[in-house]
Structure 1
């Protein structure tokens, strides 16, 4: 009897309870790991879907941006390119002279640095829109695309030397460009400043029209920048002119 009981010992209640606790802990751990795995897979899947959605949205936005323009945007780009080209031509003329006030030299370089990239940007827009490119020349030859008149300025009104482009918009007629080419020293500095002030005022009027009537956000943003920067340059030029 004693040997039989010794060969088949029974677990105590404490041992059985510990075993049950360990078993429950093991099952709980497995369940937690399984849930964590499912969450991880779901997160990866959602991330991939989100990235795909953003990529699709980005392409769609880019495509719609190229088409979100109107006739005023095209006109603004065409005319402002030509306007900027003449400003750069005027700057090159004065930079090629001797005896120019250093402040005028700095201003001319500043104008070229700002307006050159803007020309390239507007040409890129025209290409995106499938619009025809404007001629690269900046003179006032007959037959050029006319710029909407902003009202004749004192130096342009009735000037017979103007070409196909009507007076207005701040554009200098050929007679004024010739006067700038022939001027020297202080007189050249003064003439450049007075002409560029008028030129900038025309650009501001064109930009304000784009702000009010344009549809393409980058173009209206450029127009706002032109209004701000060129008004500051007008103030600077008026101060320089008063001191010469």
Structure 2
């Protein structure tokens, strides 16, 4: 508990558990117990802490209590207006796949690290298109082509190294490798991020919108340069 609350209030990052799983291990905990706990917490904080500190303790406790109630007793794919990072994706990753005697929620949002690789290929393609547009517009300039070649090399390294590491991981993990969902399933899946829960479709838009707009802008610039040189 000390590790948890110092992490919540002081950002010590000492807590590495999963509050959802911890509560699921005790089936006797009911929804009404959270209201009783919050009342006792408020009385204790006001008795032992200065008013500003007590108010912060109570605010955090109410946010966490509401989040726990939503996760434990209502639909798990909810949308929170204020999302507590200590109930977010990095806590879901510690939950074991199979633990006897512990019920598991029907749906847990996937951590943001499980973004479908096709999204990254879209981003890579957008930046590759930017370089291609530049090459088409400036291919008669030897110095510009040389700089584009260097940029292309770094782009290939930037995208290629993670791809090779992922491929090696899948090769050597064998049967223990997690099954990858198809892209359509990913788009409808909930993704848990530091600031809240979003769908895979929303993640796709947020990640690819800037590279795609930059690629379109670079294409327009390349067309203008080509037209001016013609």
Q: TM-score scaled to structure 2, two decimals?
A: 0.28
Q: TM-score scaled to structure 1, two decimals?
A: 0.27
Computing the radius of gyration from Cα coordinates, the structure with the larger value is: 1
Bigger fraction of residues in helix: 1
Bigger fraction of residues in strand: 2
